[in-house]
Amino acid sequence: MKVFTGAVRIKSTAKTEEVNISSQVEALLSESGITEGMVLVSTGHTTASVHMSNPDRDLEADFQDLMSELVTNKPAYRHNKGDYGRNADAHLKSVLAGNSVTIPVTKGRLALGQWQVIYFSEFDGPRSRLISVKVMGAADNR
């Protein structure tokens, strides 16, 4: 089994936003030479998320609206009262949305569904962000 490690670096431009990182992950998969296996895409940021969804601008806005409705930034949150900042809502949104996805690799391509893309969700931007990508599997030795 071969293992390849890479990263996607982005600079978010707004407090909250959705960034489609599928093409960057696909480029790292191609660079890896792995043709059968899996890709793990993960963020170590606790105020952001990695997830899959349909690449539709309206759905991106709907997702961020839903997260804002589910998790309002209450002044009563203990995190907002401490020395850590005023972003408890961003941390809680990250917990709900998750921080990683695993995608099968088939014939050297991401085996995504017809309408799936990989999103990085920003909940506390703008910031510079690093998304880890680990590709594991077999390389085609032709």
pLDDT by residue, tens only, the chain of 142 residues: 999 999 999 999 999 999 999 999 999 999 999 999 999 999 999 999 999 999 999 999 999 999 999 999 999 999 998 787 799 999 999 999 999 999 999 999 999 999 999 999 999 999 999 999 999 999 976 5
Segments forming the whole domain that contains residue 112 = 2-139
Give 45's DSSP letter: -
Identify the pLDDT of residue 38. 98
Distances from the Cα of 60 to the Cαs of 3, 52, 117, 118, in angstroms? 32, 11, 12, 12
CA-based nearest residue to 71, from 95, 54, 42, 49: 95
Helix (H, G, I), strand (E, B) or coil at 23: helix
- Number of domains, the chain: 1
| Residue-wise burial string across 114-127, b where 16 or more C-beta atoms lie within 10 A, e elsewhere | eebbbbbbbbbbee
How far apart, in whole angstroms, are the C-alpha atoms of residue 35 and residue 26? 12
Q: How far is CA 6 from the centre of its chain?
A: 14
**CB distance 133 to 6 below 8 Å:** yes
Identify the pLDDT of residue 24. 98
Identify the pLDDT of residue 141. 65
**CB distance 52 to 116 below 8 Å:** yes
**CATH code at position 19:** 2.60.120.460
